[in-house]
Structure 1
């Protein structure tokens, strides 16, 4: 297994990871349009016995806002569905077709679609979560924390029971990643592009997971920093570190062959099922 790790975690291993992550008692609904653009499509993975009360997780993948495809993340949808969760795995428009904030707007549009339609697939819109890895965690954080984006959909972050960030960049000015610079039109990037600037007492509860071995997104500045910011407003935060993983293998740890790297799926499962529906949640408190 250790010899196979670089292959399984890399782009060439996505097909293997997907193939080795069983669907079990789950169903998939593919290529559902949430907008008019070709990349505005989503897939849904649901437990076969979903009865309208299942929690819902909307997932956005990473790729420096330049690459990625929902088909590569079937293992995420299957893993979540195996835990009794209705999973929505969505594409969003990428650079150079678009720049900030278009992909955030797409993310809000996905959430609005899920909130309004997920009951058809056995999900409970009152138990709606948004999750992302890397650049996708940025998207998730922005729609969860900055009310502007869901307001454009006549909604607010109050629809969310919680949000989940895996190795997310939440505080990255000045931009040192050359691939990310044109996405945010550096050096003319305003401070309000940073998710950490939008932490407040109204923020939904959060599960933040990273690895201290991450050399791509600094975990102390981003994950720990976001956790401190949210706690300063009394928001409930679960903060975890899976130090067998790297930046890439943190999300790969959801796949069946790589779950020995850390209990990432278990943490997500526990957070989603233990967090009360947003409509019933009382004042948040730090954990």
Structure 2
């Protein structure tokens, strides 16, 4: 989450969530939440009882058809964040006919970004194997994220090796929704070190430039990459605006189906807070991408 995005994201988020907590009951009825499902076997080496868990939000009234699935990956500078904060995204998606999966993953300093991406891939594999039990279509899995989570979502959508390591013959991800993404090109970012306190990102990314490049979606996107929606705030951090524009240019050059939307006046944190409201432009474009079937 480069360029001073480390500044406390949770203060504003938690105040926002506190103000809206009661609102959960106002629109919870159209959906059902199944909490704290382990997506890694508790017997597996390195299992983290808090971080290797996810929540599923399924539409309460289902048509009988398997519905598209959106996996949301939270942000937080790669060192903070929790699925529990983003219940409103799960509720909103489920209300609109999508089976939503909100995940936790391990964080720095306990692990570095490659392990976070491994966690994300395992959550996607769990979803492919089990989401039909919740009314979801395992053949229509999309990833979505904000900030650092959007960077991880882009990495999982573009680097198939995370899934081949798990024994999957193909990447299950059919598309990505990137909300003010951070980390699209950490190789370039960490080589330059342009902003105050950039040394802090050597904790989640380590000191090896080969690793910086390996976890940067910019160097994995290809003609075979799935469709993407890219949303950037008009008042976001310069590093996010710049890397998102370069990523957009690369998608265009490679012919990858995508839409790029600049949202005027939005700063970084409001880019995710706006997802509380159902009719915002991100949900509008998302519904077209995933093709909800009523």
Q: How would you bin the TM-score normalised by the shorter chain?
A: 0.7 to 0.9
Q: Which of the numbers 214, 218, 226 marks the counterpart of 1:192?
A: 214
How far the C-alpha of 1:52 sits from its partner, in A, is 4.5
For residues 10 and 79 of structure 2, what CA distance do their matches in structure 1 show? Answer: 22
In the TM superposition, residue 127 of structure 1 has moved relative to its aligned partner by: 1.2
| In the alignment, structure 1 residue 100 sits paired with structure 2 residue 113 | yes
How far off its partner does 1:24 sit?
Answer: 3.5
- Superposition TM-score, scaled by structure 1 size: 0.85
Deviation at 1:102, TM superposition (A): 0.5
Task: Find the counterpart in structure 2 of residue 134 from structure 1.
Answer: 147
Deviation readout 1:160-204 (Å, 9 max, x if unpaired): 221111111212323243432211113644422211100101100
TM-score (norm 2): 0.84
Q: Map of 1:267-286 to 2, 5 A cutoff? A: 267-273=285-291
The structure 1 segments of at least 4 consecutive aligned residues displaced by more than 6 Å after TM superposition are none
Residue 19 (structure 1) shift:
3.4
- 1:31 lines up with 2:44 in the alignment: no
Which residue, out of 262, 274, 289, partners 1:241?
262
For the 8 Å contact 1:57–1:87, the answer to whether it is kept is: yes
Q: Residue 93 of structure 1 contacts residue 103 of structure 1 at CA under 8 Å; is this kept in 2?
A: yes
SS at match of 2:291: helix
Query: Which deviates the most, 153-162 or 245-254?
Result: 153-162
Classify the secondary structure of the residue corresponding to 2:189: coil
Superposition CA RMSD, Å: 2.3
Aligned partners of 1:108 and 1:143 also within 8 Å: yes
Q: Tell me what 1:171 maps to.
A: 185
Q: Is the 8 A contact 1:53 1:124 kept in 2?
A: yes
Q: How many residues align structurally?
A: 266
Runs of at least 5 residues in structure 1 that lack an aligned partner in the other structure:
1-5, 276-287
For residues 224 and 22 of structure 2, what CA distance do their matches in structure 1 show? 40
Could you report, residue by residue, the CA deviation over 1:136-156 in whole angstroms, capped at 9, with x for unpaired residues? 011111111011111112225
Q: Deviations over 1:215-234 (max 9, x none)?
A: 26422x22222122122111
